[in-house]
Structure 1
Amino acid sequence: MVLENKLGLTTSSDLAREEEKISKKKALELFEQDLLRDKPPGLFSALAFIHTHLFEDIYPFAGEIRTVNLAKGNFRFAPTMYLRAALEHIDTMPQTTFDAIIDKYVEMNVAHPFREGNGRAGRLWLDHLLKHQLGQVVDWSKIDKEDYLLAMERSPIRSIEIKYLIQHALTTAVDNRQIYIKGLDASYHYEGYFTYKTEEL
């Protein structure tokens, strides 16, 4: 199934290729124009801004809370009927320590607020939060892609793995363009690693 898109593309391979190219270009705009400087770190509003900017030229639902239930494998993300309440709760979660920040990141992943593109937007949101609170960001080149995806899949039950991976990849090079863009690599995307199951409401 190919998601409705503004590009008029009808094959998943074409959409994935154009989506990665466009979203990386838009992510660089966020970085080079410092568009997140006045966005509150750790809040859903910042994540929605990031998602809108990355995908507004691709998807009509960019930045909008999803209206379908999503699952990957046997794991179901937050049901739509509870999604707004979940996001309000995440906004209030503490974010002053590394452990608290990653707990918040895990909860946002469980919420999975958008129909597509949660992984990319979420990693930029995490870096914005880490940069603001700890003066660090993640050097994604130091994290094995499969280890990351498996750790994220298990994180709602056991977050120690994802905390270990991220903590050992932190860097103070917060203004490094190459480090910033690495988190957008397609091979980190849940979207390309698992098959979504959807339930239209």
Structure 2
Amino acid sequence: MTLENKLGLTNFAELAREEEKLSKKKALALFENGILDQLEAGTFPALKEIHKYLFDEIYDFAGEIRSVNIAKGNFRFVPFMYLSAALESIEKMPQTTFDEIVEKYVEMNVAHPFREGNGRSTRIWLDHMFKKELQKVVDWTQINKEDYLLAMERSPIKDIEIKHLLKSALIEDTNNREVYKKGINHSYYYEGYATFKTKEL
């Protein structure tokens, strides 16, 4: 099923291509225009702004909390009726150490607050926390897609794998445009279009 969109597209593959092209362009603009630096790292309002900026040209729900229950594969994300409370709890989680930041990231992934585009938004949100708190960012080109997807799938139960992957890819080159751009291009492979797409319940 193709999500209703501002582009008027009804073909799933065509929408996926346009969504990727437009949101990649906006993700790079987030960095180049200094918009990320104006956001408070690790907050849900910051994540909402990131999501809205990335997808505003594509979806009416950009930056808005979903109003439906969703799942990916056999995993069901936080039900809508508990979502606001879950987001309040995540907002209060500490983020001063590497472990705390990744644990907060994992919980936000379980919440999956938006109808679409959660992975792309939360990876930028994660890097924003790393940059502010640890003066480091993830070099996403160092992380294998299958390893990442499996680690994230298991992270709600055991987060040691995702922590290992992310820690091994941390670098100190926080303001390098090329690192950021390559990261955007590479991390889109993590969306898993060919495996499981987020579905409405």
- TM-score band, normalised by the shorter chain? over 0.9
Q: Pairwise mapping of residues 139-178 of structure 1 onto structure 2 (< 5 A)?
A: 139-178=139-178
**Cα contact 1:123–1:183 (8 A) shared by 2:** no
User: How do residues 105-116 of structure 1 correspond to structure 2 at under 5 angstroms?
Assistant: 105-116=105-116
Do the aligned residues in 1 keep the contact of 2:116 with 2:198 (CA within 8 Å)? no
1:9 aligns with 2:9: yes
Partner residue in 2 for 1:197: 199
- 1:181–1:192 Cα change, 3 Å: farther
Q: CA deviation at 1:37?
A: 1.5
CA distance in 2, matches of 1:115, 1:68: 8
Kindly provide the amino acid, as one letter, of the partner of residue 167 in structure 1. K
Paired amino acid for 1:30 = L
Are 1:124 and 1:183, in contact at CA under 8 Å, matched by a contact in 2?
A: no
Identity of aligned residues (%): 63
Out of 166, 174, 190, the residue aligned to residue 188 of structure 1 is: 190
Q: Is the 8 A contact 1:44 1:87 kept in 2?
A: yes
CA distance in 2, matches of 1:78, 1:60: 22
Q: Take 1:191 and 1:90, find their aligned partners in 2: how far apart are those partners?
A: 27
The Cα shift of 1:176 comes to: 1.6
- Report the residue type matching 1:82 in the other structure: Y
Unaligned runs of 5+ in 2: none
Q: Distance in 2 between matches of 1:18 and 1:73?
A: 24
Are the equivalent residues in 2 in contact too, given 1:65–1:113 (CA < 8 A)?
yes
CA contact (8 A) 1:140 1:183 kept: yes
The aligned residue for residue 62 of structure 2 is 62
Secondary structure of the structure 1 residue equivalent to 2:184: coil
Pick closer, same or farther for the CA change 1:192–1:66 going to 2, 3 Å: farther
**Distance change in 2, residues 1:193/1:34 (3 Å):** farther
Task: Deviation per CA, 1:93-134: give whole Å up to 9, x if none.
Answer: 010000000000000000000000000000000001100000
Aligned residues: 199
* CA gap 1:25/1:188 in 2 versus in 1, 3 angstroms: same
- Measure the CA separation in 1 of the matches of 2:153 and 2:74: 10
Structure 2 CA distance for aligned equivalents of residues 90 and 70 of structure 1: 19
1:97 is aligned with what amino acid? T
Of stretches 5-14 and 189-198 in structure 1, the one that deviates more from structure 2 is 189-198
RMSD, matched Cα: 1.1
Provide, for residues 55-105 of structure 1, a one-character-per-residue CA deviation record: whole Å limited to 9, x for no partner: 000001000000110112221100000001100100100100000000000
**Residues 136, 174 of structure 1: 8 Å contact kept:** yes
TM-score, normalised on structure 1? Answer: 0.96
Deviations 1:146-170 (A, max 9, x none): 1001100110001000000000000
Q: Structure 2 CA distance, aligned partners of 1:178 and 1:158? A: 33
After the TM superposition, list the runs of 4 or more consecutive aligned residues in structure 1 that deviate by more than 6 angstroms: none
> For residues 81-100 of structure 1, what are the structure 2 equivalents within 5 Å?
81-100=81-100
Task: Report the alpha carbon displacement of residue 190 of structure 1 after superposing the two structures with TM.
Answer: 4.6
Secondary structure class of the residue paired with 1:187: helix
Pair 34,18 (structure 1): closer, same or farther in 2 beyond 3 Å: same
